[in-house]
Structure 1
Amino acid sequence: MSAADPVGSLSRRRLLVGAGALGLLSACGGGGGGSTTAPPPAPGAPGAFPLTVEHSKGATEIASAPQRVVTVGFSDQDPVLAMGVRPVAVTDWYGDHPHATWPWAQDELGDAQPAVLNRGAFTGTPDYRYEEIAALAPDLIVGLYTSMDDTQFQTLSRIAPTVGPPAGYPEWGAPWQEYTRLAGRALGAPERAEELIAGIDAQLAATRAAHPEFAGRTAVVAERFEPGSSFVRSPGDPRSQLVTALGFTIPPEIVEVAGELDGGTLSDERMALLDRDVLIWNTGFSPEVRAQVEAAPLYSQLQVVRDGRAVFVDDPLVSAAWTWGTVLSLPTVIDALAGQLAGALA
């Protein structure tokens, strides 16, 4: 993923930790702007704390209901807000929205004004600015949709108790349900997490029932970041996860291209691998690439294209909600995506 390609492969870059990162905590610089006053008390269930949360970096003890939560994952503000907790700081991913919070989460944000870390500085590699984080005086750091090595986790944990990504999944590859559950456990609201998950699962089940034609059909989720190649999403990527939740399957050949990452690059000479029951292009972040896709020499020869079964998700909000794939964004995209796919298969 690059700054110019905000939804490209996060996993293709390895994280580098600067020498002496552990020493940064001795000097605290200014925060990322915005409000640093304590938000209303966290709505954890009575008696929920103290608690211990397990994650990919180990186990973290949280002594009391957090009052000053900082999120360092690219989409972590969504599951945290969904639990009724307003962070004092969030991390910018992409898009120019108030407080790095997209429209689908603005109601949950309310009048809070969290500081924004890394505003406009997205490169595809997490950049934990320890001095800025420490200056916010957090009592909990949440890093779910991110990558975090042991040194980074230890450094963050010296600032405040830190919850890392879900255990048992590749980087960036946990289902949205697991990010939601982990946020719920960390914030003392596991029942709230399960209620929200059940609501979206019910919406997905109703959509599958309304569209039995989706069942068992093959689909490929593709994006375009540079001329001459496409990027195909693995089954573990949030975009593909939603497609499979609607009833489609991701072909094994695409799984091989992606490997253990969130996706893989496919040269235009291999475009035949895109010829499936439906081909879904995520282009809302850069609608102009559609012309580039359609100009590729082999593209017009694909049967899926000739039959009109290629779909371009070019609405910026729908595309972003699909890309984020969170407990708050998914309700925005399910019906819109299902409608486009039904039209393509009609």
Structure 2
Amino acid sequence: MQFSRRSLLASTGLGVLALGACSSPNAPSGTGGEASGAEGFPVTVATKFGDVVIEQPPSRVVALGWGDAEVALALGVQPVGASDWLAFGGEGVGPWSAGRYTNPPTLIATLEPDFEAIAALQPDLILDVKSSGDQERYDRLSELAPTVGVPVGGDSYLTSTHQQTTLISQALGKPTEGQALLDKLDSAFTEAAEAHPEWKGRTVSAVTRTAETWGAYIEGSERVQFLERLGFTQNPKIAELPVNEGGFSVTLSTEQLRRIDADLIIAFPIYVETTKISEDPLFTAVPAVADGRAVVMDGDLSQAYSLATVESQLFALDKLIPQLEKAL
């Protein structure tokens, strides 16, 4: 079966629509988190859709892209509306961002956002930085407020952590704070890699399982980049396979599952129980798995690893490294 971009996006909640409540246009819910300490307005942000000019520090931000709300929160700005891609519920963010809202945001659906609900929030800035890059979606959002969409090359949720953090921090007038976040992440990866020189050059497969099929991520995807920053290299047997639409994954038939064998295997489920991986006889027969060199992730760790914001990756590093040490 085709291991499509849409099914892969569902691995981290992209298929789950976090349905948001509508407010009266005259009384939008929530309070804005104006970009205090903002630098140098007006600012210009370069995107795939052209330059976006933001005249003054925004006070009513709606964050729709994958992880965009978490980035805004890390920069000290509370969105009044946000999309809950990973179906956390509540405030729509993971534990790495918990407790940062004074008032919870209105939750907006993900793949098919409610434009009337967004308009009711009276936004003065919309963030859709890590999203599909669809022109029609962008056009409709930009009618409501200045919208920072995907960067060049960022279609199909391929906006990188660096790009996402940089664009959002520019839009909020907080480029210094954005760079500080990226520096913190760089330091954490460098420290972890230097503490484990034995990982350098060892091969890794980043694998997932849906109810329909198996799949793996390829070099250039953030899930593989995360592991490469620790010193690992992409399993060349995965790299040989044809890439799915969207550009960051391959499909694996059961006959091809042996291709995931590597020095290390990282795996996580997509809308199936973890046991669908850990107790699958085809998976357990892979030599690396049989040898104990596999980590099957679930819950907060899987979500943090997949979300790939600065703070979710710091969370994932803290949780995953002890498991890697045990596996290797």
Same fold (TM over 0.5): yes
Name the counterpart of 1:23. none
Match of 1:193 among 153, 175, 178: 178
Query: How has the CA–CA distance of structure 1 residues 56 and 252 changed in structure 2, closer, same or farther, with 3 Å as cutoff?
Result: farther
Q: Is the 2:204–2:232 contact (alpha carbons within 8 Å) kept by the matching residues of 1?
A: yes
Q: Is the 2:125–2:146 contact (alpha carbons within 8 Å) kept by the matching residues of 1?
A: yes
Matches within 5 A, 1:325-344: 325-344=308-327
Name the counterpart of 1:22. none
Counterparts of 1:224 and 1:336, CA distance in 2: 21
* 1:159 partner SS: coil
Name the counterpart of 2:289. 305
Name the counterpart of 2:11. 7
* 1:96 partner SS: coil
Can you list the C-alpha shifts for 1:153-203, whole angstroms capped at 9, x where unaligned? 121111100000122345222321211111111111111011111111111
1:288 paired to 2:273: yes
1:273 paired to 2:259: yes
Q: Is the 1:9–1:263 contact (alpha carbons within 8 Å) kept by the matching residues of 2?
A: no
Q: CA deviation at 1:71?
A: 0.9
Query: How has the CA–CA distance of structure 1 residues 286 and 9 changed in structure 2, closer, same or farther, with 3 Å as cutoff?
Result: closer
Counterparts of 2:220 and 2:90, CA distance in 1: 30
Query: How has the CA–CA distance of structure 1 residues 8 and 137 changed in structure 2, closer, same or farther, with 3 Å as cutoff?
Result: closer
Can you list the C-alpha shifts for 1:16-55, whole angstroms capped at 9, x where unaligned? xxxxxxxxxxxxx934999624424312434x11111001
Counterparts of 2:160 and 2:279, CA distance in 1: 32
Q: Is the 1:175–1:241 contact (alpha carbons within 8 Å) kept by the matching residues of 2?
A: no
Counterparts of 2:24 and 2:242, CA distance in 1: 39
Query: 1:321 is aligned with what amino acid?
Result: A
Query: 1:68 is aligned with what amino acid?
Result: R
Name the counterpart of 1:90. 82
Match of 2:214 among 230, 236, 253: 230
Query: 1:236 is aligned with what amino acid?
Result: G
Query: How has the CA–CA distance of structure 1 residues 219 and 69 changed in structure 2, closer, same or farther, with 3 Å as cutoff?
Result: same
Counterparts of 1:37 and 1:292, CA distance in 2: 41
The answer for unaligned runs of 5 or more in structure 1 is 12-28
Percent identity, aligned pairs only, is 32
* 2:143 partner SS: helix
Q: CA deviation at 1:293?
A: 5.1
Name the counterpart of 1:136. 121
Q: CA deviation at 1:94?
A: 2.4
Question: TM-score scaled by structure 1?
Answer: 0.83
Q: Is the 1:217–1:247 contact (alpha carbons within 8 Å) kept by the matching residues of 2?
A: yes
The answer for unaligned runs of 5 or more in structure 2 is 16-20
Name the counterpart of 2:101. 110
Aligned residues: 316
Query: How has the CA–CA distance of structure 1 residues 35 and 236 changed in structure 2, closer, same or farther, with 3 Å as cutoff?
Result: farther
Question: TM-score scaled by structure 2?
Answer: 0.87
